[in-house]
A and B are shown apart, each in its own frame.
Chain A
Amino acid sequence: MGEMSGIATKSRVYLDHAATAPMLAAAIAAMTEAAAVAGNPASVHAGGRAANGIIEQARDTIAAWAGCAPGAIVFTSGGTEALALAIRGSDKPRLLACAVEHSAVLAARDDAVLVPVDGDGILDFAALAALLAAGPALVAVQHANNETGVIQPIADIAALVAQAGSLLLVDAVQSAGKLPLPNADFVAVSAHKLGGPPGVGALIVADPATLRAVQRGGGQERGLRGGTPNLPGIAAFAAATAQAPDWTRVKARRDDLEARLRAAHPALVVHGAASPRLPNIASLGLPGVKGATQVMALDLAGFMVSAGAACSSGKVAASHVLAAMGLGAAAGEAIRVSLGAATTAAEIEAFVAAWTAMAKRLAPA
Chain B
Amino acid sequence: MDRDGQKAGARMTMPLYLDYGATTPLDPAVAAAMEPWGVAGFGNPHSAHLWGYHAKAAVENARDQIATLLGAPAETIAFTSGATESVNWALKGLLTAPGQTRRRIVTLATEHSCVLETAHYLESLGAQLSVLPVRGDGRLDVADLERALGEDVALVSAMLVNN
On A, residues with C-beta under 8 Å from B are 1, 3-4, 7-8, 10, 12, 14, 16, 19-23, 27-28, 31-32, 35-36, 38-40, 42-43, 45-48, 51, 76-78, 81, 197, 199, 214-219, 226-228, 230, 232, 292, 295-296, 298-299, 304-307, 310-312, 314, 316
Contact = CB atoms under 8 A, between A and B. Distances in A.
A311 B47 contact: no
Contacts of B121: 216
Contacts of A12: 50-51
A291 B47 CA distance: 13
A230 B26 CA distance: 12
Given A46-B15, A216-B118, A216-B121, A38 B39 contact: no
A13 B3 CA distance: 63
Interface of B: 15, 17, 19, 22-26, 31, 35-36, 38-44, 46-52, 54, 56-58, 80-85, 87-88, 112-118, 121
A316 B49 CA distance: 11
Contacts of A81: 81
A218 B114 contact: yes
B51 A77 contact: no
Contacts of A27: 38
B50 A227 contact: no
B88 A8 contact: no
Contacts of A312: 46
A4 B114 contact: no
A21 B42 contact: yes
A40 B22 contact: yes
Contacts of A48: 19, 22
Contacts of A42: 22
Contacts of B23: 38-40, 43, 51, 228
Q: What 5 A-B pairs have minimum CB-CB distances, sorted nearest first?
A: A217-B114, A77-B81, A227-B84, A23-B38, A40-B22
